[in-house]
Structure 1
Amino acid sequence: MAFNFFKKKENKEDKKSKRYKELTVRQVINATADAIVIEFEKPEWELSYTAGQFLTLITDINGESVRRAYSLCTSPLVDEYPAVTVKRVENGKMSNHLNDNLKAGDKIQVLEPMGNFTTTVDANKKRHLIMFAGGSGITPMMGISKSILHAEPDSIISLIYANRNLESVIFKSEFDKLEDEYEGRMHVIHVLDDAPINWQGESGLLNEEMLQKILDRIPNWGNDQTQYLMCGPEGMMKNVEQYLENFGVDKANVFKESFVQGTIDKAEKKTGETAEGQEYEVTILFDGEEYKFPVPSDKSILETALDLDIDLPFSCQSGLCTACRGKLLSGTVRMEEDEGLSDAEKDEGFVLNCVGHPTSADVKIEIG
Structure 2
Amino acid sequence: MFVDRSGLVDDLHDLYARTKAKIGDEDIRHIEKIDAYSKAIKARSLELLQNGESKNAFKHGVILYMLHSLLEFSELGHNIMHGGYNHLANAGQYHSDKFEWNFLIDPEEWKTMHHQNHHPFTNIVGKDHDIGYSFMRFFASQSWYGHHAIQPAFFALATFSSLPFTIFTATSAARTQGRKVLSKATFTKSIALVKKHALKNYIKEPLAAKPSRLLHTLFGNYLGATLGSDFVAFILALEHHAPNVKLFADTGDHETEEQYFIRQIYGTTNFTPSHRLNAYFKNILDQEVSFANPPDFEVFYGGLTTHLEHHLFPDLPCNRQREIVGEVKAILAKYDLPYNTIAFEDSTKHIIKSMFEWMPPIGDREVADPISLLRKPKELFQRLKNGFQFKTPDIYTYFKAPRFYNVPAKVVSTRIEANGQALSIHLQKPEGWEEVIWEAGAYLSVRFTIDNVDYVRQYSLTSDANYSQTMNITVKRVDHGLISNHINDHVKAGDIVTLIGLPQNDSGFVANDSALAPVYIAGGVGITPIISLIEKHVHENPNKPATLLYFNRNPQSVIFEPELKKLAKRSQLKIYFICDQHTDASVDMIEGRLSSDLLEGLLGDVAAYNYFVCSPPIVIQLAKQYLTQLGVPAEQFHHESFTTPEIKRAVSDGMQYTIMLSKSNRQIVIDSTITLLEATEKAGLSLPSGCKRGLCKACVCTKTSGQTLMNDKISSQENSSITLCNSFAKSDIVLDI
How high is the TM-score relative to the length of structure 2? Answer: 0.37
Unpaired segments ≥5 residues, structure 2: 1-107, 133-248, 253-403, 644-649, 663-667, 713-723
Q: CA deviation at 1:101?
A: 0.7
What are the superposed Cα offsets for residues 278-336 of structure 1, whole Å, 9 maximum, x if unpaired?
689xxxxxxxxxxxxxx9956756996xx99x9969xxxxxxxxxx796999988637x
What are the superposed Cα offsets for residues 221-268 of structure 1, whole Å, 9 maximum, x if unpaired?
964xx31111112332232212211111100110112469xxxxxx97
User: 2:461 is matched with which residue?
Assistant: 72
State the distance in 2 between where 1:274 and 1:136 align.
Answer: 38
Which structure 2 residues correspond to residues 251-270 of structure 1 after superposition, within 5 A?
A: 251-258=634-641
Contact 1:77/1:150, CA 8 A, preserved across alignment: no
User: 1:209 is matched with which residue?
Assistant: 597
State the distance in 1 between where 2:468 and 2:488 align.
Answer: 23
Match of 1:41 among 428, 434, 437: 428
User: 2:6 is matched with which residue?
Assistant: none
For 1:255, what is the secondary structure of its paired residue? strand
Answering whether residue 397 of structure 2 is matched by residue 27 of structure 1, we say no
Which structure 2 residues correspond to residues 231-246 of structure 1 after superposition, within 5 A?
A: 231-246=614-629
Q: Residues 200, 42 of structure 1: CA spacing in aligned structure 2 closer, same or farther, 3 A cutoff?
A: closer
Contact 2:523/2:614, CA 8 A, preserved across alignment: yes
Contact 1:50/1:118, CA 8 A, preserved across alignment: no
Q: Residues 126, 80 of structure 1: CA spacing in aligned structure 2 closer, same or farther, 3 A cutoff?
A: farther
Contact 2:607/2:631, CA 8 A, preserved across alignment: no
Contact 1:58/1:67, CA 8 A, preserved across alignment: yes
State the distance in 2 between where 1:97 and 1:179 align.
Answer: 33
State the distance in 1 between where 2:708 and 2:454 align.
Answer: 28
State the distance in 2 between where 1:76 and 1:109 align.
Answer: 19
Q: Residues 296, 173 of structure 1: CA spacing in aligned structure 2 closer, same or farther, 3 A cutoff?
A: farther
Contact 1:85/1:139, CA 8 A, preserved across alignment: yes
Aligned residues: 307
Match of 2:503 among 107, 113, 125: 113
Contact 2:676/2:729, CA 8 A, preserved across alignment: no
Moved more, 233-242 or 95-104: 233-242
User: 1:196 is matched with which residue?
Assistant: 583
Contact 2:437/2:466, CA 8 A, preserved across alignment: no
Contact 2:659/2:734, CA 8 A, preserved across alignment: no
Contact 2:578/2:589, CA 8 A, preserved across alignment: yes
Q: Residues 84, 11 of structure 1: CA spacing in aligned structure 2 closer, same or farther, 3 A cutoff?
A: same
User: 1:343 is matched with which residue?
Assistant: none
Q: Which has the higher helix share?
A: 2
User: 2:441 is matched with which residue?
Assistant: 52
User: 1:179 is matched with which residue?
Assistant: 568
Q: CA deviation at 1:163?
A: 0.7
Unpaired segments ≥5 residues, structure 1: 261-266, 281-294, 314-323, 339-352, 363-368
> What's the Cα RMSD here?
4.2
Contact 2:606/2:632, CA 8 A, preserved across alignment: no
For 1:19, what is the secondary structure of its paired residue? coil
Q: CA deviation at 1:153?
A: 4.4
Which structure 2 residues correspond to residues 89-128 of structure 1 after superposition, within 5 A?
A: 89-111=478-500, 112-116=502-506, 118-120=509-511, 126-128=515-517
Contact 1:23/1:107, CA 8 A, preserved across alignment: yes
Q: Which has the higher strand share?
A: 1
Q: CA deviation at 1:119?
A: 2.2
Q: Residues 149, 311 of structure 1: CA spacing in aligned structure 2 closer, same or farther, 3 A cutoff?
A: farther
Q: CA deviation at 1:358?
A: 6.5
Contact 1:274/1:297, CA 8 A, preserved across alignment: yes
Q: Residues 312, 159 of structure 1: CA spacing in aligned structure 2 closer, same or farther, 3 A cutoff?
A: farther
Q: CA deviation at 1:206?
A: 1.3
For 2:657, what is the secondary structure of its paired residue? coil
State the distance in 2 between where 1:145 and 1:20 align.
Answer: 30
Amino acid at match of 1:115: N
State the distance in 2 between where 1:296 and 1:41 align.
Answer: 50
Answering whether residue 728 of structure 2 is matched by residue 357 of structure 1, we say yes
For 2:484, what is the secondary structure of its paired residue? helix
Contact 2:407/2:499, CA 8 A, preserved across alignment: yes
- Greater gyration radius: 2
Contact 2:438/2:503, CA 8 A, preserved across alignment: yes
Q: CA deviation at 1:209?
A: 2.3
Contact 1:301/1:357, CA 8 A, preserved across alignment: yes
Answering whether residue 657 of structure 2 is matched by residue 275 of structure 1, we say yes
User: 1:334 is matched with which residue?
Assistant: 709
Q: CA deviation at 1:54?
A: 0.8
Q: Residues 355, 234 of structure 1: CA spacing in aligned structure 2 closer, same or farther, 3 A cutoff?
A: farther
State the distance in 1 between where 2:596 and 2:606 align.
Answer: 21
Identity of aligned residues (%): 24
